Structure formats: structure tokens, C-alpha cells
């Protein structure tokens, strides 16, 4: 029931500096055969790495993100350490909200915090929609720096942004939430204001994603991390899917593969997939085959190891990885990943062993 063709030909575009399209990760994004299953991990640059913690000790999260040199360095850390098939720019989904006029900070032990969350419909009308090159220039510059390093090695770089619902939930709740009460109260109770907010977010996020591709990102991932956690299928269809669809439709123009990632949406993954994206990011809740049955057997999937398994002994981790690879059965269009971000407690050696193991187990005859 895909509402637009999800496999589009590599369009002409600003691909000059980008990794060659023969990289296994990019081929898998197009559903093409690869010599082995490509691997990368959400949050692969982050707190579980001592190299990252050393930099983080000197600067806040937002300082690191806003320094192109630091962000580039962090992006490359896991690429130096492991045999990963893609890098993802070190950034966060929330800085676009700061550009729109919300006061964003990360509070130690508390996570993100917005001091002036959206409380009335009028607050939505006051939100700015500046272009990414004005408010998110450091991340775009970091992408240019990273691509210079990665292009010669043939490693693609992934850019990313949050989907409108997920960003709206932070903008309205003022931080992380368990029940998304205020967000859903606005969504259900003030549909006109909700629509204005979603449209503003689509504008800002589409521009940001296109700018990341222009700066050299070879693929893009859109995180709708909380829609599936928060919403019924019916609410997703009415209040979220149309805006995600607009966003995916607009971002196609970049001519790079786009990954549509959500969590907690297994039961209505067909609706999530219908919003768009070349690749569907699956969380760990159901086996890969279950997702393929619902989104179409030829739609590429990225996923879906429970990241907590990286904290288990290798024997247990291996058992689950074997089951996952058996589900994928060596078909084209599988990108190995975790079903949610890597946890800060993850042992570095376990990550290395896992990457190598997936490559070995999936290597196909020349």
C-alpha cells in the first residue's frame, strides 16, 4: 500500500563529494545485492566510546554539536575503531527547534529541556522557520569535513533529522515524556494549531535534510522515534502520516536514499512505511520477516537487534544475531543495525566483535 514508489533511481544531484554508490550500505538501501550485509549502529558515535567521553569531558553536548571540527572528529571515531559500513553525522534531532525560537539545553542526568515550551496556539504562530544554512550551519560544515575524510575510503555518511511528531512532542512537553499528554491534548483538541505546527516542522526539517545532502551526506535518516510509542494507528493516520508523507516526498529531491525509522510502531508498520522512505528502520520488537510481510518483501529494512543484547555475554548475543541473520536469509536490502540507539553501557569490544561477526557470517561467494 506504498503511496509512492519507494525505489527511485539515483537522481542526478550534488553527489560530487559523496561516497561512490557502489558502497554496500548504499546498494543495500536500493535493494541491490552486496558482497556482505552492511552494518552500522544508531548512536555509534557516543558515550560508550572512551574517545568520545574524553572530548565530552571538555565540552557540553551542544558545544560539541556546534563545533564542526569536534562533531567531525566524533563522527569519525567509530569509523576508526570498527569496520562499519556507514558513518552518521554527530548531531542531535533537537537543534532545529532552537533555530525556530525554542530555548534548548541538555541538563545533566535529565536530558533535553526546553524552557519556553509551546503552550498556546499563539506560541506556534511565533515559531520561526529559518533556513538550515543560517541556524544549523555547524552541522552542515561538519558534514563537509567528514565527507572529505570518508570519500577516499568509500564510506558513506548518513545525515538525519527528526520527524515532525517527535520534534513536536519535545517542543510541547518541554523534554522527554512518557505519556505525551500535552502533545496529544493539542493534537486532539486544537487540530488547526496542530496542523500549523506540523507544517512549520515539515518546512524546517525538509530544508535541513536537503541541505545535509547538498553538503555531502550520501543517505538520510528521518527519526520518528516517538510516534509509535504515543499514538494509535488511527491517530497516526490522521495527525502524523500526512506530514511525514510531505516530508519524505520533498526529501526525495535530494536524490539519496532515505531511511524511515520509528519505534513502537510494529503493529502498524504498514502505515509507517506508506509515509515514504526507501528503507524502513525496524525496532527490535518483532522478527524481520514479520516486518517484510507487512511492508512488502522487496522493501529494504534496517535493523533490528535489541541494543540491550550488546550488554549480554557473547554467547547470548550470538544466539540472537544468528536468529536475526537467519530471518534476513542473505537477501538483498538488509542493513544490519540495532533497533534503537546503542546504550552508553555497551562494551567497545562487543561492538567490534559484532561488526566482524556479521560481515563474516554474511560474506557471499565472489
Annotated active-site positions, please? Answer: 43, 47, 56, 92, 170
Written as nine digits, the cell of 334 is 538488509
Q: At what angle do helices 164-173 and 181-189 cross, to 10 degrees?
A: 110
Residue from the set 232, 293, 298, 326 that interacts with a copy of itself by CB under 8 A? 232
Q: How far is the CB of 190 from a copy of itself (least distance, A)?
A: 9
For position 11 contacting a copy of itself by CB under 8 A, the verdict is no
Q: Which residue has the cell 518483532?
A: 286
Residue from the set 345, 356, 363, 364 that interacts with a copy of itself by CB under 8 A? 345
Residue 358's nearest CA partner among 21, 24, 13 is 24
Q: How far is the CB of 310 from a copy of itself (least distance, A)?
A: 10
Binding segment for a copy of itself (CB under 8 A), chosen from 73-81, 254-262, 264-272, 347-355, is 264-272
| Nearer Cβ to a copy of itself (147/275) | 275
Binding segment for a copy of itself (CB under 8 A), chosen from 142-150, 153-161, 249-257, 338-346, is 338-346
| Nearer Cβ to a copy of itself (36/314) | 314
- Secondary structure class of 282 (helix, strand, coil): coil
Residue from the set 13, 255, 264, 296 that interacts with a copy of itself by CB under 8 A? 264
Q: How far is the CB of 319 from a copy of itself (least distance, A)?
A: 9
| Nearer Cβ to a copy of itself (34/260) | 260
CA 91 – CA 213 distance, rounded (Å): 15
Site string for a copy of itself, 301-330 (x = CB under 8 A): -----x-xx-xxx--x---x--x-------
Q: How far is the CB of 194 from a copy of itself (least distance, A)?
A: 11
CA 168 – CA 139 distance, rounded (Å): 21
Q: Of 147-206, which residues contact a copy of itself (CB under 8 A)?
A: 176, 178-181, 184-185, 188-189
| Nearer Cβ to a copy of itself (77/225) | 225
DSSP 75: H
Written as nine digits, the cell of 307 is 541494543
- Strand 111-114 relative to strand 104-107: parallel, antiparallel, unpaired? antiparallel
Residue 175's nearest CA partner among 250, 278, 83, 97 is 97
- Phi/psi zone of residue 185: left (φ > 0), alpha (ψ -120 to 50 degrees), beta? alpha
| Nearer Cβ to a copy of itself (144/285) | 285
Q: How far is the CB of 315 from a copy of itself (least distance, A)?
A: 10
CA 147 – CA 191 distance, rounded (Å): 41
| Nearer Cβ to a copy of itself (212/229) | 229
The helix (H) or strand (E) run that includes residue 261 is strand 258-262
Residue from the set 28, 161, 167, 231 that interacts with a copy of itself by CB under 8 A? 231
Buried b / exposed e over 327-352, threshold 16 CB at 10 Å, is: bbeebebbbbbbbbbbeeebeeebbe
Written as nine digits, the cell of 55 is 572530548
CA 252 – CA 256 distance, rounded (Å): 7
| Nearer Cβ to a copy of itself (22/119) | 119
Whether the Cβ atoms of residue 54 and residue 83 lie closer than 8 Å to each other: no
Whether the Cβ atoms of residue 221 and residue 261 lie closer than 8 Å to each other: yes
Q: How far is the CB of 274 from a copy of itself (least distance, A)?
A: 16
Q: How far is the CB of 262 from a copy of itself (least distance, A)?
A: 13
Site string for a copy of itself, 268-297 (x = CB under 8 A): x---------------xxxx--x-------
Whether the Cβ atoms of residue 147 and residue 13 lie closer than 8 Å to each other: no
Whether the Cβ atoms of residue 164 and residue 208 lie closer than 8 Å to each other: no
Binding residues for a copy of itself, rule: CB under 8 A, are 176, 178-181, 184-185, 188-189, 229, 231-235, 264, 266-268, 284-287, 290, 306, 308-309, 311-313, 316, 320, 323, 340, 343, 345
Amino acid at each position: 500500500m506504498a503511496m509512492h514508489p519507494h525505489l527511485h533511481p539515483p537522481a542526478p544531484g550534488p553527489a560530487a563529494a559523496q561516497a561512490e554508490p557502489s558502497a554496500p550500505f548504499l546498494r543495500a538501501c536500493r535493494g541491490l545485492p552486496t558482497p556482505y550485509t552492511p552494518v552500522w549502529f544508531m548512536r555509534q558515535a557516543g558515550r560508550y566510546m572512551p574517545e568520545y567521553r574524553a572530548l565530552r569531558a571538555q565540552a557540553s553536548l551542544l558545544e560539541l554539536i556546534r563545533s564542526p571540527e569536534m562533531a567531525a572528529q566524533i563522527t569519525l571515531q567509530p569509523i576508526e575503531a570498527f569496520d562499519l559500513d556507514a558513518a552518521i553525522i554527530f548531531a542531535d534531532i533537537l537543534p532545529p527547534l532552537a533555530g525556530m525560537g525554542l530555548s534548548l539545553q541538555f541538563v545533566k542526568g535529565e536530558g533535553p529541556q526546553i524552557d519556553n515550551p509551546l503552550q498556546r496556539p499563539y506560541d506556534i504562530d511565533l515559531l520561526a522557520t529559518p533556513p538550515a544554512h543560517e541556524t544549523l550551519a555547524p552541522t552542515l560544515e561538519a558534514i563537509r569535513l567528514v565527507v572529505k575524510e570518508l570519500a577516499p575510503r568509500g564510506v558513506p555518511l548518513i545525515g538525519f533529522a527528526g520527524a515532525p511528531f517527535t520534534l513536536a512532542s519535545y517542543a510541547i512537553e518541554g523534554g522527554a515524556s512518557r505519556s505525551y499528554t500535552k502533545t496529544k491534548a493539542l493534537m486532539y483538541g486544537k487540530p488547526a494549531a496542530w496542523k500549523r505546527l506540523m507544517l512549520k516542522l515539515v518546512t524546517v526539517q525538509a530544508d535541513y535534510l536537503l541541505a545535509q545532502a547538498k553538503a555531502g551526506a550520501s543517505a538520510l535518516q528521518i527519526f520518528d522515534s516517538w510516534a509509535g510509542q504515543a499514538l494509535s494507528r488511527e491517530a497516526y493516520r490522521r495527525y502524523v502520516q500526512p506530514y511525514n508523507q510531505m516530508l519524505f516526498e520533498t526529501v526525495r529531491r535530494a536524490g539519496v536514499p532515505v531511511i524511515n525509522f520509528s519505534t513502537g510502531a510494529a503493529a502498524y508498520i504498514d502505515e509507517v512505511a506508506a509515509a515514504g522512505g526507501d528503507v524502513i528502520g525496524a525496532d527490535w520488537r518483532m522478527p524481520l520477516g514479520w516486518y517484510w510481510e507487512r511492508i512488502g518483501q522487496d522493501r529494504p529494512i534496517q535493523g533490528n537487534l535489541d541494543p540491550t543484547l550488546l550488554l549480554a555475554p557473547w554467547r547470548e548475543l550470538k544466539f540472537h544475531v544468528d536468529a536475526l541473520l537467519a530471518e534476513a536469509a542473505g537477501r538483498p536490502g538488509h542493513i544490519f543495525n540495532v533497533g534503537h540507539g546503542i546504550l552508553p553501557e555497551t562494551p567497545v569490544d562487543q561492538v567490534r566483535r559484532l561488526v566482524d561477526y556479521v560481515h563474516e557470517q554474511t560474506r557471499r561467494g565472489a
